A and B are shown apart, each in its own frame.
Chain A
């Protein structure tokens, strides 16, 4: 599998007068897991969504394997067709799963293969079957999302993304909407993906996952990227007082 790299440089994003991303620089190496942490409202989702241009950034550059996403040249939007081509190589997993409720698990996964990759229905369904088997849902393929647990729904969502054979995966708090006992099954699937050398960017509040699986951890606050380093140096020996304060409240909240 090829893995993509992402270069984010001097990215700014405004919502009206609100400055949501401030000169963000971040380098995401291929085949590695980058975790984005930080307080609520710090711009983690916004940054993640700029990477596949679900959100348009206003200035700066985001390059995936050297190709600028969203713009042909800075300031000039790229065509819809070109953007869709680039998005094919980027999988995304949302906090709310966002499965299509009128389709079965298998149809959810096959849909993109048929509409985007142009596969025949039968080929797409067999590929979908493989992807669902990989996330441990071989026996749930004909279930509609309403008949799946949250953890299962999120694994279907991951299968839907990986079936497209992306070279980069974006996760926006993939376990935040799950009951605690269902978090593990989703994290395990993500660990497997990581071990296979997928480039992953993960917005998470799971510090355990960040500590054990991430190759680098980036901390954001108030739209700024405060620091990027190894998980150990960010989570265990933070230098910046803002990171120290964030971890302190995190530990307080999670102590029994």
Chain B
């Protein structure tokens, strides 16, 4: 193995990793936001709206991310949606993640005991206040482990963005491999970066979980 080439390619790999983290972070945040909105609509909107959303969920979950990205990036211009690679990648990730996040939130909301919602109704709280003060905090807490888990899965979906030329880590690694034929070194670096990212996310996730469930778990004495 020859690590001297990293002097030359180090900076572009680092930049690539930065783009990867950025894509992952924004894709996750937007995907979660969209998923949350979908889950709330499913809970409160009339049934026919729920059906339409269910179709969206099935279509997105039933097709590979790669295909969705191609449709968005190369098919988008046909309907006037002309996006640069990065915004297209972000939009793609957001859409791809949203139904999974929606399902996670939906089951998180279902885990909130109905009696606690009824207690709020019984004292005359309005539905928006119930959502904000009871349903969301409790539902989010029970969703947290699955949210972290799916966010970790999403880190690895970002490599697909290289196909539409988003200059993220995979893109830089491929460039380096084809220019130097150092496939092993390049992919080792790729693995290392992803391992670091995943490890960080999972640690933050555990901390967060411990913090938010502190008062919810019965003390054992």
Contact = CB atoms under 8 A, between A and B. Distances in A.
B126 A80 contact: yes
A87 B124 CA distance: 5
A94 B138 contact: no
Interface string A88-117: 101110101011111000000001100110
Contact of A102 (B124, B127, B216): B216
Contacts of B2: none
B108 to A, nearest CB: 14
B122 A87 contact: yes
Contacts of B123: 87-88, 91-92, 112, 116, 160-161, 164
Nearest to B141: A102
A146 B218 contact: yes
Interface residues of A, number: 29
Interface in B186-221: 215-219
B122 A92 contact: yes
A96 B124 contact: no
Given A87-B121, A101-B138, A111 B133 contact: yes
Given A115-B129, A144-B215, A98 B116 contact: yes
Given A102-B216, A147-B219, A94 B124 contact: no
A84 B113 CA distance: 21
A116 B124 CA distance: 6
A98 B112 CA distance: 11
A85 interface: yes
A54 B118 contact: yes
A52 interface: yes
Contacts of B218: 146
Nearest to A101: B216
B112 to A, nearest CB: 10
A52 B216 contact: no
> Which interface residue of B119, B120, B215, B218 has the most chain A CB atoms within 10 A?
B119
B109 to A, nearest CB: 15
B158 to A, nearest CB: 33
Interface of B: 113, 115-116, 118-127, 129, 133-134, 137-138, 141, 215-219
Interface of A: 52, 54, 80-81, 84-85, 87-88, 90-92, 94, 96, 98-102, 111-112, 115-116, 144, 146-147, 157, 160-161, 164
11 contacts: A52-B122, A54-B122, A80-B127, A84-B126, A96-B113, A96-B115, A100-B120, A101-B215, A116-B125, A146-B216, A146-B217
